[in-house]
Amino acid sequence: MKQLFRIVGGVIAACLSASLPAQQVELPLRPGSVRFLVLGDGGTGDTPQYEVAQQIVRYRQRFPFTFAIMLGDNIYGRERPQDFEKKFIRPYKQLLDANVEFHAALGNHDDPNQRYFKPYNLGGARYRTFKKGNVRFFVLDSNYLDPLQVKWLEKELAASGSDWKIAYFHHPLYTTARRGPEVELRAILEPLFVKHGVDVVFAGHEHVYERLKPQKGIYHFTVGGAAKLRHGDTRKGPLTDATFDRDRSFLLAEIADDALYYQAISRSGNVVDKGVITRRGTGQRTP
Amino acid sequence: MSLKEHLRLLTFVGLVAVLASATACEEPKRADPRDAVLADFAKRVDAYAALRNRLADSVGELDPTGSQAEIATRATSLAQAITAERNAAKPGDIFTPEVATILALLIKEEYSRRSDPVQETREDQQEELPDFVPRVNQIYPTTYPLATFPPALLPLLPSLPENVEYRIAQNYLILRDIEANLIVDFMPNAVPSGA
């Protein structure tokens, strides 16, 4: 009987994998490059989160990134120990077991005490900066942008001598999705980003994928569909370069010297956007 | 004394005279009546911070940990300790009527300066908090999101010590202990209705 179950199980698995698209990695995989995963709004604990996580694991076999940046709403609803199990540990177990580091930003659904949760690498702070290769990341708490945080950001940006500067936080400064951009945050952050040469901004909050045309020289990505989806929520317009709002999604990124290669992938494994952008001061900035 | 030296002396004397008369004419600086109220607010907030810091020390410092149970237990213990010490606390203990008047005016002025897109965004954020009526010593409901605090408003409000923050829910301004996830005080009608 057991044997029969095994055979049937094997047949089902084979059929499923045959119906899935092959993981098409179109990133250069250059030696010494900085490779990472971008995912936002993932902490529901529902089936779509697990399915996205499985797709990420499949892609990681071909694109071995070493860390992930999380754009907030890491845990929806209650934050009991069992919720962390269901909404973070279990779905991403294979990544955690492979020592993939998670670097989280806080979303509006996140208790700020998540800063003490070691796997999120916030080190007890609501905002922080870290460096990987030639990239400096600035993790902000866009839920509570107090003057202290702004002052800290300006100091850190000014002190950063890195080639690439990437800021990430929960609320998008530009988006075409229903809830719209955070224009108040933009009024405070954008001048600092422009002044200090931030290259790319990643945000979540809107449960879609979006890549916008560079705004004041800065590329903006919304990657907020790692579990929830606002179907058909984006509006094509002058801001838009690419959108995907028909299913859940995540983004893979690779930075090699002056180029950032990206590939957005749907829950079913299809590549929904891809391209390359270049660092500030190296000529053309459009893909 | 040469003519040049005479002229220098005269210029110097003239300058001294002008400065002296300017100082004499200067009106004594009037004290802003709001300063005393805001100083009193700061004192009350600091007293709360001292209390919660003492209790936080007794509960034990929290270092980053892989155990969410440890984080949750610590938050609960801290909240219980604070609540026990402040069991007689009531609305308005920190947001006194005097400071509430000042803060409500600051918020009203700031809200009146909003552009339409900002207003829409803030209204959307408030929609995330249905039927939430705060109470002093209440655990901030964990099933609700923490609505994003208007970043343009924060610099206008009195600064707070570490681990205490402002939050807005519906039309309440809330003073929240971050680590204990506890509502320390709240101010009704802080946000203009229809805003």
The four Cα atoms A39, A180, B181, B51 give a dihedral, to 10 degrees, of 120
Q: In angstroms, what separates the C-alpha of A79 from chain B's closest C-alpha? A: 7
Average pLDDT estimate for B12-30: 54
Report pLDDT for B31: 80
Kindly indicate whether the ipTM for this predicted assembly is greater than 0.90, answering yes or no.
no
B184 has a pLDDT exceeding 50: yes
pLDDT band of residue B147 (cuts 50, 70, 90) is confident
Report pLDDT for A269: 96
Report pLDDT for B117: 74
Contact B151 A111 (CB under 8 A): no
Q: What is the DSSP letter of A109?
A: T
Contact B67 A81 (CB under 8 A): yes
User: Which of A183, A185, A188, A205 has the most B C-beta neighbours within 10 Å, making it the best mutation to test the interface with B?
Assistant: A183
Contact B148 A171 (CB under 8 A): yes
Q: Which residue of A has its CA nearest to B155?
A: A147
Three-state DSSP class for residue B106: helix
Low-confidence ranges of chain A (pLDDT < 50): 1-2, 5-7, 9-19, 286-287
Contact A80 B154 (CB under 8 A): no
Contact B118 A183 (CB under 8 A): yes
Report pLDDT for B64: 94
- B63 chain-A contacts, CB cut-off 8 A: 116, 124
Give the strands of the sheet with A67-70, arranged side by side. Answer: A101-104, A67-70, A34-39, A249-256, A259-266, A271-278
- Report yes or no: A168 and A39 within 8 Å, Cβ to Cβ: no
What is the residue type of B190?
A
- A207 chain-B contacts, CB cut-off 8 A: none
What percentage of residues in chain A have a pLDDT greater than 70? 90
Which residues of A touch chain B, with CB atoms under 8 Å apart? 77-81, 83-84, 107-113, 115-119, 122-124, 142-147, 171, 179-185, 187-188
Contact B124 A179 (CB under 8 A): yes
- B71 chain-A contacts, CB cut-off 8 A: 113, 116-117
Mean pLDDT over each residue of chain A, to the nearest integer: 91
Which tokens hold the place of B13? 């004397």
Contact B124 A144 (CB under 8 A): no
Contact A119 B66 (CB under 8 A): yes
Report pLDDT for A103: 98
Which tokens hold the place of A162? 């890195």
Report pLDDT for A9: 46
The 10s digit of each residue's pLDDT in B64-96 is 999 999 999 999 999 999 999 999 999 999 999
pLDDT band of residue B45 (cuts 50, 70, 90) is very high
Q: Which residue among B64, B125, B152 places its CB closest to the CB of A116?
A: B64
pLDDT band of residue B111 (cuts 50, 70, 90) is confident
Q: Which residue among B66, B115, B145 places its CB closest to the CB of A109?
A: B145
What is the residue type of A217?
G
Contact A77 B142 (CB under 8 A): yes
Size of interface A-B (CB pairs under 8 A): 97
Report pLDDT for B131: 62
Contact A80 B152 (CB under 8 A): no
The 10s digit of each residue's pLDDT in A44-67 is 999 999 999 999 999 999 999 999
Q: Which residue of A has its CA nearest to B75?
A: A113
Q: In angstroms, what separates the C-alpha of A189 from chain B's closest C-alpha? A: 10
Distance CA A70, CA B172 (A): 31
Report pLDDT for A51: 98
Report pLDDT for A166: 98
Q: Which residue among A77, A84, A124 places its CB closest to the CB of B143?
A: A77
Q: In angstroms, what separates the C-alpha of B37 from chain A's closest C-alpha? A: 22
- Give long-range contacts, CB 8 A cutoff, 24+ apart: A85-90: A86/A45, A87/A42, A87/A43, A87/A44, A87/A45, A87/A49, A88/A43, A88/A119, A89/A119, A90/A50
User: Which of B71, B111, B177 has the most A C-beta neighbours within 10 Å, making it the best mutation to test the interface with A?
Assistant: B71
Task: Look up the pTM and report it.
Answer: 0.87
What percentage of residues in chain B have a pLDDT greater than 90? 58
Q: Which of B152, B188, B146 is nearest to B165 (CA)?
A: B146
B11 has a pLDDT exceeding 70: no
- B132 chain-A contacts, CB cut-off 8 A: none
b/e burial code for range A177-204 (CB count within 10 A of at least 16 → b): bebbbbbbbbebbbebbeebbbbbbbbb
The 10s digit of each residue's pLDDT in A116-161 is 999 999 999 999 999 999 999 999 999 999 999 999 999 999 999 8
Report pLDDT for A18: 41
Report pLDDT for B129: 59
Report pLDDT for A145: 96
CA A116 to chain centre: 21
Q: Which residue of A has its CA nearest to B151?
A: A145
What is the residue type of A187?
A
Report pLDDT for B113: 84
Three-state DSSP class for residue A229: coil
